[in-house]
Structures are given as structure tokens and as C-alpha cells.
Amino acid sequence: MTDTLSQRIQALLDSEAAATLAHIRRGIEKESLRITDQGLLAHTPHPQELGSALTHPYITTDYSESLLEFITPPSTDLQQPIEFLENLHRYAYRHIDDELLWVNSMPCMITHDNDVPVAAYGSSNVGRMKHIYRIGLGHRYGRKMQTIAGIHYNFSFPDEFWRINRELEGSQAPLQDYISQRYFDLTRNFQRYSWLLVYLFGASPALCSSFLAGREHQLLERFDHSLYRPNATSLRMSDLGYQNNAQSSLAISYNNLDDYVRTLTHAMKTPDPAYQKMGVRDAQGRYQQLNDNILQIENEYYSSIRPKRTINSGERPTLALQRRGVEYIEIRALDLNPFEPVGINQQEIRFLDLFATYCLLRESPRLEHCDLDASKENLRRVVYDGRNTGVQLNNWGKPVSLRNWGLEKLDQMLPIAELFDRCHGHDGQHGRLYRDALELQREKLLEPDATPSGRILDKLESRQQSFFDFAMNQALAHRDHFRSRPLDTDLETQWRRLAEQSQEEQRAVEAEAEMPFEAYLEAYFRG
């Protein structure tokens, strides 16, 4: 264990800060494609019974009209996010007729790019902007790529935790400046060590060959129209997914808030020759992107972690960060777990708590270009070959086996797990929930076939199944799980009223007198 890490853990033990860890706030965003009972992408509109995708707080769409996104409110209760997701899925399954929710991150069979319907959000300026942004993504990267789904984990430490730690560290910085800088410390370490999460929770070692039709790749083909790599963990996190030649040259800085905002803003103001050639509008005058810059808006930058601040209506994310500082982080490196009905379980949540806290507490030097390159290469090796017991990673210029480095990380997290168990009342007869979650991950490092990616490939091989058949069987099983546990009448009524309220809110927005759309865009980007 590093001196800085041990000192910070001891400082937590000796202070009131440890108790505040029981008040960490968590929220989950979970994406799932709607598909037909034949396993094809659903082309039906977003179901009216689910409410307005523009204004509903918990049920919306991502890129595609077919790509549902379920959002849980932030909570300090460990059980609440999973329970909330369970209820969202139960409600959804009552209102999507014979359709299913695809349970894997890599999509179902999609023949052509234009088969993917782009999400629509109505006639308001904000709704048009959301739609045109997605049109632009389709032109830039392809629509099929945008159907890749995942889990986003939102995480924040309580204010009291930060106040105590600032005093312990003797910082004279204003509290919010201190909080922002420490979240960036966490973010840099996350980028250094995210390969461990991808190994432990990666669940996309295979995909349908239709996804890569007409594209070059290095995957192996099975007899059953599946593509895979024998030791892959998360092809979702590979260059097969979010390809962007323009973004590959970006050097977004995570060293501090000012540098992050500056470099991200630069990308949003710098034209890209290919996008300039495409044009903002087509020959008929229809928008085909919001602008011709490297990034249309901040969210176009694909990153495995984002510093976040709740935005006000019409406010750009970078301006919100600049004005009020970092509020929480969003972890975006998680595949859907097809063995779990809601795509994630309590053990994963507890380990994510430990991992984020570990990234915060250990020393976090600046990330230079060479460090970023090394982190990207480590991630690439784990994505394509992580379950190969001989795979070597780069630890500050020294080769180290993934297994040994991963076990070292888990050993360093053990005192943090003990700390979490203590503050959550899990000591003694109450159990060792965080330590148990840690030990479960240790088993995966010792036995690669115990990882979700290993279990998936084992199913394909032992049953001589295609990736498609495996995914369909899991989708059918999860549908039966949710339909066998219907919502009680009061909760069903509550969700229905919320859906109706969201539709009324959209109608109200669309009924308001608005400035011309071009003026709206100009005002938005002006801030």
C-alpha cells in the first residue's frame, strides 16, 4: 500500500469523516434496446404509456427511438437503485406489448444503418436540438454504433465528507474548488486503472456479425454468424464501438477543472474538415448536424468517466461546471450484465463504491500524454485479451501481469472495504458485505472463466449457441422474471400518472412562444 493511501485511510479512521461514507449518493442510468419477439430492432415509436422521452424524469430514450434509458434518482440507500430499476422494468414490460428488452451491450441483428430509427422529442426547440444532435451522430459515426448500450453509474461523496477532509489536509482553497480538484484526482486514477473494471465486469466478448458487416475487423468468426475473441472482455469498449478519427487526436485534460473545460470547449469550437465538407444542412435545407466542429456538444466526447454538475434549463454542461464546480462523477465503462435482470447487481455497486474511493484516496499525479497513451494501451489489451493469463500491462513503464496487478489493487482496497462495512453496520454478526464483494472480484482474477465475459463464451461453446440465441434466451428469461412480478395497483397508478404528467409538460413546452430555432441554437452555444 502506498504511503499516501495508508495515511488517508488512517486519517479517515481517526476522524468523523469515516461515518459520512454511509451517505454516499448513487444513481444508475441503464440502456436497453426494444426488440421484436424475432430479435429484430423494434421500429415502433416510444410507447405513449411510458410518457414523454423529453420530460419524463426516469424513462427516456438515448440515441434511437428504440433505445430505452431508465434513470434512478440519486439515493444514499444501497438497495434503492436496484429496486427502482426493477420497478421501472416491470412497468415497461406492461406497456411494450410483445416486444422484449435486449439484455446485452452489443446490439441485436441490425442489417442496415438506416434501419435504426433516430429518437424524436417533439417540435420544441429543445426537442429539435436533441433530435438533430442525434442525426449528426449518425452521419459522423454510423447509426448502428449508437445502439450500443451500457450502464452509467453516478457517484458522489457527501458535503460533510469533503468539509472534514479539507480540514484534515490543511487546504485553504474554497470548499467547492477543493471538491472539484479532488474529483479530478479521482478521475485521473480512474483512467489509469479502469482496465480492472473492464476485466471484472466486461460482458461483451462476442457480437452478431451483422454489426460489423462491410467493416474490417480482427475478430474470429463462428459458424453461427457470431464474431468473438477467445479472451476478450468488453468489445463494447474497443475501437469496434466508438470509432472517431477526429476524436482520436483530442487531448482533453483531466488535470484540473479549468484545463478540462478549456480543452473540451476548444474541441466544440474547432471545425473538422470532414464535417465541414458534409455541411450543417443538406441540399434540401434540412439539418444534418448541429455544427461542423469536432464535437457538436460536450456529450459527444466519448469518455469512460465524466465530471458532472446538474444543469439548469438551457445550460451547457461545461458552463455548469465552470460556474458551480464538480458535483458528482459518472462512470461509463460498464457493460450490461446479461445474467442480471436489470443489468447490474448489489455486489457490483459495492465494488464500484470501493473502486471510486480507492481512486480518490491514493496519490494522483498529473496525466501527461505518455500516461494517457499507456492507459489506452492497457485498456486495449484487456478489452481484446484480458482473460489470457499471460497478458502483461504497463505499470509506469514496467511490465506486470494483469492478475498480479489486479490482486495488488484488491489488497489495497481491503482497508477501504473494512471501513465501508463498519460505517454501514456490516461488522460482526451483520456480515461483511463490502469485503464479500471484494472477495468475489478476487475470485474472477484467480479464475478468468468466472468473469461475465468468460461465462458468456462458456455458454456459447458448451451449448453450441450463437451470440444471438444466447442473448434471446436471456431476454426471454428476464421478460418472464418481470412479468411474473407485476407492480401493485398503487404503484402502477403512480407510474401511469407520472407518464401522463410528462406528456402534459411536453405539450406545455411546445405551446410556448419560442424564438426561431436558429436563434435558439445561437443563444445556446453563446451561453
- The per-residue pLDDT for range 1-21, each reduced to its tens digit, is 678 999 999 999 899 899 999
Per DSSP, 227 falls in state: E
pLDDT in tens, 473-520: 999 999 999 999 999 999 999 999 999 999 999 999 999 988 999 999
Fold of 3-210+301-526: Creatine Kinase; Chain A, domain 2 (3.30.590)
Please list the residues that pair with 461 across neighbouring strands: none
Q: In whole angstroms, what is the distance from residue 85 CA to residue 68 CA? A: 12
Report field, pTM of the whole predicted structure over 0.75: yes
Distances (CA, A) of 88 to 39, 64, 73, 148: 22, 19, 12, 20
What pLDDT does 243 receive? 47
Please list the residues that pair with 25 across neighbouring strands: 156
Residue 501: how many other CB atoms lie within 10 Å: 15
pLDDT in tens, 181-198: 999 999 999 999 999 999
Q: How wide is the angle at C-alpha 56 spanned by C-alphas 55 and 61, nearest 5°?
A: 90
Radius of gyration of the chain (CA): 23
Residue found by looking up cell 469523516 in the block: 17
pLDDT in tens, 235-284: 999 987 654 555 767 889 999 999 999 999 999 999 999 999 999 999 99
